[in-house]
Structure 1
Amino acid sequence: MEVRWIRVEPFRLEPPHTAFSLVFSLLLGVWSAQALEMSVGKVPFLEAVNGSTVMLPCTYSSCIGIKNLYFSWQFNDNGTMQKVCDSVIPTEDVEPDVKIHKERVEFVGKNIKNNISILLWNITFEDGGQYTCFGRNPKEMNKNHSAIFNLIVVDELRVVDNTLTIIIASAVGGAIALLMGFMLLKNFTLFVLAKLEEKNKECLVSSSGIDNTENGLSGSKADSKPTPKKK
């Protein structure tokens, strides 16, 4: 009789600091998901013509809400941060009283939509550069966040060469049209073949009836001879 030995690992209790670290990590993850976030959109840059008016977009979001949220726009002037505008938003249903610190700037954000965007009127080449949208939320223990938007000022907008795009679109369109034409031709061919086969079956049935008549089978003309009269 073969005896097998099974090794049993002793049960270990995790030290208190390990459990605390796990709980702390979970709480930190939840806290990060609720943290303040500033966003300048999916495309954080804009190329605009000298003398035009542009909007610099920025919105904020917070899962637990805001209270006395401080925000500001700053311009990076060759390494020196210049304040463009700033304000404090008491609550989410109050429109802020924004202080403007630079000429040709207008606040156009509506707090109802968490929007703190600004307009720059009659931009010049000196207005080109990095603009930082900053926010700090005391309700989240002064959690802060910022997003950078780049403004590029040019004499005239560049003409985009769409030749390659047109060629690709034409090739794809031609391939699709060719495939559709092939499918139509295939369906038409199958339809004609089906009709020809149906017609051949009808001809075979008709030919069979004619042969039976000529051979004097039952129901044919050969059976219908008149009975001779008795004298």
Structure 2
Amino acid sequence: MLGAGDRGAARARWLGTGLLGLFLLPVSLSLEVSVGKANTIYAVNSTEILLPCTFSSCFGFRDLGFWWSYNGSDTFKILINGTVKNEKSDPRVHLKNDDRITLAGSTKEKMNNISILLKDVDFSDTGKYTCYVKNPKEKDLQHHATIFLQVVDKLEEVDNTVTVIILAVVGGVIGLLIFILLLKKLITFILKKTQEKKKECLVSSSGNDNTENGLPGSKAEEKPPTKV
């Protein structure tokens, strides 16, 4: 069994590890790299394709380094690398191993975009493209994101018949509900006006009856004055 001293030391180690984890957690979550929601993008042979990449950092950045790598079926190479001095500077390319590649991003106006444009794609360009970012301001913290490029003869046409039918049905139902609401309001308005007219008729009819019957408040025929 552990003695009191051993238990105290174990508790101190556990507490120290927990505090260290809490201290490192914001750092590990600060720098993020994204290549968009799609894991795979398609490009037609002999066309060009934009490979997206953006980054963000809660602590800002200074002399940030970035690079793109290509990992094909039997090839791995660095395509491009560069740096970004600060939030007000555009990315600067230092090395480019493929003349078909152009840096298409900008960090101005907080875009933090380091996307690349690959021109005249070929079937051999099919593979994984990884965007790396390293931030010296965060103790050289590094993150990356990967996207898969598939080069094809032609893009397959997507059959949107089912989607169109669903949208048409939903639109028809919404239109019917709107029509019913408008019709309900119209009927309510007509009934209200009809009831108001009935009330006016009843009041007018009641006045006429009183006049004919010589009741108080009526306009009965006045008697001639009595002669003395």
TM-score of the pair, normalised by structure 2: 0.82
Q: Which residue of 2 aligns with 1:218?
A: 216
1:186 and 2:181 are equivalent in the alignment: no
SS of 1:98's equivalent? strand
Q: How large is the RMSD of aligned CA atoms in angstroms?
A: 2.6
Q: Which residue of 1 aligns with 2:22?
A: 26
SS of 2:46's equivalent? coil
Distance 1:16 1:117 in 2: 47
Cα deviation, residue 171, structure 1:
1.0
Q: 1:129 to 1:216 in 2, by over 3 A?
A: same
Distance 2:71 2:210 in 1: 104
How many percent of aligned residue pairs carry the same amino acid?
Answer: 44
Q: Which residue of 2 aligns with 1:199?
A: 197
Q: 1:173 to 1:226 in 2, by over 3 A?
A: same
Cα deviation, residue 79, structure 1:
4.7
Cα deviation, residue 200, structure 1:
1.6
What do residues 40-61 of structure 1 show as CA deviations (whole Å, max 9, x unaligned)?
1233432121111111122233
Superposition map of 1:159-170 within 5 A: 159-170=157-168
Tell me whether 55-64 or 106-115 shows the greater mean CA deviation: 106-115
Q: 1:41 to 1:192 in 2, by over 3 A?
A: same
Q: Give unmatched runs, 5+ long, in structure 2.
A: 1-7
Larger radius of gyration: 1
Superposition map of 1:58-207 within 5 A: 58-89=53-84, 91-92=86-87, 93=89, 95-112=91-108, 113-207=111-205
Number of residue-to-residue matches in the alignment: 218
Distance 1:95 1:55 in 2: 17
Letter in 2 for 1:165: T
Q: 1:98 to 1:108 in 2, by over 3 A?
A: farther
Cα deviation, residue 203, structure 1:
1.8
TM-score of the pair, normalised by structure 1: 0.81
Tell me whether 218-227 or 74-83 shows the greater mean CA deviation: 218-227
Distance 2:47 2:103 in 1: 17
SS of 2:93's equivalent? coil
Q: Give unmatched runs, 5+ long, in structure 1.
A: 1-12
Q: 1:222 to 1:40 in 2, by over 3 A?
A: closer
